[in-house]
Amino acid sequence: MAHAATHDHHDDHHGAPSNFFVRWCMSTNHKDIGTLYLVFSLLMFFIGGSFAMVIRAELFKPGLQLVQPYFFNEMTTMHALVMIFGAVMPAFVGLGNWMIPLMIGAPDMALPRMNNLSFWILPFAFALLLSTLFLPGGGPAGGWTMYPPLSLQGDSVAYLVFAVHLMGISSIMGAINIIATILNMRAPGMDLLKMPVFVWSWLITAFLLIAVMPVLAGAVTMLLTDKYFGTSFFNAAGGGDPVLFQHIFWFFGHPEVYIMILPAFGLVSEIIPTFARKPIFGYKAMVFAIASIAFLSFIVWAHHMFAVGLPLGGEIFFMYATMLIAVPTGVKVFNWVSTMWGGSMTFETPMLFAIAFVILFTIGGFSGLMLALAPADFQYHDSYFVVAHFHYVLVTGAIFAIIAGTYYWLPKWTGHMYSEFWGKMHFWNSVIWVNVLFFPQHFLGLAGMPRRIPDYNVAFANFNMISSIGGFLFGASQLIFVGVIIHAVWFSKKKAPDRVWEGAKGLEWTVPSPAPFHTFELPPVIHDEELAHGHVED
């Protein structure tokens, strides 16, 4: 897609292969692989989004009008799997690939060939996963959480398990690469505590990935052997325990949700200081907060399971541990606000998305705190309240941060300014419709509507219709995003300066726009005052 044109305009720089196949399929260049990740993630965002459109269309009014309940379940399952593993995670890896070497003054990622492999596994993983929709028996329909025994009733278990294995391998390789790059490839003078917060957040995220992806692989392998090889890990009739799967799954699953939000924290911590023209408030506190959230993520998994009948002591422990997360998360929000306080702010599209992130992610954090209170969770659990909660943290959290990051660095990648007018159109449409989409879902949950149901009582009709209208318009708004990107890549006449934003600091703004095929072949000389966090005393 974007390949041909970027290809042309990279031609004048040395080193970029002119053959399309060689350039993109055999690439070992961090920028090209980053682009591949981002384009792939955008494609998956639309595929997963189309599944969401099917869901919202069926839920538009009571009664079944469009799809059978089983297909509806396939849609909810695939929507989650595609969005989590196909859209959000690869987008962050793409941003990391593009920007980490530029931000720390490295010529490329530490392990370029593995970088190529870790990307090119993904299209195969998703081809495998999505192909199940066209096979007899249909795709996985037991929820992305794959709880047995239900998930074992499907005919696509093997496809699902191998697709998850491939995604896991890809993620682990990506994480190893990022850790190796950050720890070994920093330019002299780029101390750990001078790194951008985005780099810090990715370093911590990468450790989370390495720690938990093998756990997921183990869990799904046990599903596979339970289904096809007669084992009874999760089969009560054979002496196994269905709840064991949930413990293993959420031991992966909770760190996973932070894998999807920590890099977003990093992005927002870069963007807000740039447009406030003021250094980030409490740099060390920010880094420490990310690290504490990462640590806590390992000891809170059973808060997804308050209704499985945990012993009282278990409920209490997981409730307290979960509530603790509010402290470092609160620190981050307060620090972002303090960064803005006393600044000199302008509101370009990346800043608008970053501000919307802070507000709307905080709303998701509030509902998260409410969900942490186990006795109240007995009501919220598996209701639309939970659906509203995690879409606030994932859509207006992770995805808004990704969009903010894209607008922030798009001029650096393409060498052209995007259209500020259409960027703002994209922002206002997104921020309005996403709230119309998800805010009423809080009310539906509190009124007692369970999640993952294709049809509902007429008492839930009004809020569902509002939510669906918001959903269609939010989905349509994302076409503006594609338009802005296509325009910026191929049609924009406005050249981007090297330092695209007036208040931008950091090494990535010292290289030309568009960033040449190879950068920092010689390590840059670091001047602390040019870094975003060069003089850290606090």
Partner 1 sequence: MTRGASEWSPEAYFLNNVALGVCVVIGILVFGAMFIAMFRFRKSRGAVAEKWSHNTMLEIVWTTIPVIILIVLAYLATGGLRTFADTTGSEMTVKVTGYQWKWRYDYVDYKGKAIEKVGFMSKLDHESDETRQLNSGLDPNAVKVDGYNTYLINVDKPLVVPVGTKIRFVITAGDVIHSWWVPALGWKMDAIPGIVNAAWTNITEPGEYRGQCAELCGQDHGFMPIVVKALPKAEFEKWLAEQEAQAKQPAPAAASTAAAPATAQATDAPVSQGHQG
383 is catalytic: no
Nearer to partner 1 by Cβ, of 281 and 463: the residue is: 281
Catalytic residue among 76, 156, 170, 419: 170
Residue partners of 480: CB distance under 8 A and separation at least 6: 422, 425, 426, 429
446 scored as a contact of partner 1 (CB under 8 A): yes
Cα 132 to Cα 160: distance, rounded to the nearest angstrom? 8
Residue partners of 238: CB distance under 8 A and separation at least 6: 231, 232
Q: Which stretch binds partner 1 (CB under 8 A): 361-369, 471-479, 487-495, 510-518?
A: 361-369
227 is catalytic: no
Structure tokens at 472: 């269609």
Q: Which stretch binds partner 1 (CB under 8 A): 31-39, 200-208, 255-263, 303-311?
A: 303-311
374 scored as a contact of partner 1 (CB under 8 A): yes
330 scored as a contact of partner 1 (CB under 8 A): yes
Q: Which stretch binds partner 1 (CB under 8 A): 81-89, 248-256, 355-363, 478-486?
A: 355-363
377 is catalytic: no
DSSP-assigned beta bridge partners for residue 450: 383
Cα 96 to Cα 91: distance, rounded to the nearest angstrom? 8
Which of 323, 304, 313, 329 lies closest to 380 in space, CA to CA? Answer: 304
Please give the distance of CA 460 from its chain centroid, rounded to a whole number.
Answer: 30
Closest distance between partner 1 and the C-beta of residue 358, in Å?
7
Cα 384 to Cα 452: distance, rounded to the nearest angstrom? 9
Nearer to partner 1 by Cβ, of 3 and 451: the residue is: 451
299 scored as a contact of partner 1 (CB under 8 A): no
Q: Which stretch binds partner 1 (CB under 8 A): 24-32, 81-89, 136-144, 252-260?
A: 136-144
**How many CB atoms lie under 10 A from the CB of residue 316?**
12
Structure tokens at 17: 């292969």
**How many CB atoms lie under 10 A from the CB of residue 448?**
14
Given 45, 250, 456, 501, the residue binding partner 1 (CB under 8 A): 456
Q: Both ends of the chain: CA-CA distance in Å? A: 45
156 scored as a contact of partner 1 (CB under 8 A): no
Nearer to partner 1 by Cβ, of 171 and 274: the residue is: 274
Closest distance between partner 1 and the C-beta of residue 204, in Å?
20
Closest distance between partner 1 and the C-beta of residue 226, in Å?
13
Q: Would you give the binding string for partner 1 spanning residues 61-100, x where CB under 8 A is met? A: -xxxx-xxxx--x---------------------------
How far CA 493 is from CA of 479, 480, 485, 487, 517, in Å, comes to 21, 19, 13, 9, 21
398 scored as a contact of partner 1 (CB under 8 A): no
Are 253 and 303 contacting, i.e. CB atoms less than 8 angstroms apart? no
Nearer to partner 1 by Cβ, of 128 and 276: the residue is: 276
Structure tokens at 142: 């037991």
Strands (DSSP E) contained in 44-185 are none
Residue with tokens 């053959």: 19
Given 39, 91, 141, 216, the residue binding partner 1 (CB under 8 A): 141
Closest distance between partner 1 and the C-beta of residue 387, in Å?
12
Q: Which stretch binds partner 1 (CB under 8 A): 85-93, 188-196, 341-349, 420-428?
A: 341-349
Residue with tokens 């096979």: 135
Catalytic residues: 79, 108, 144, 170-171, 254, 256, 258, 269, 303-304, 329, 332, 451
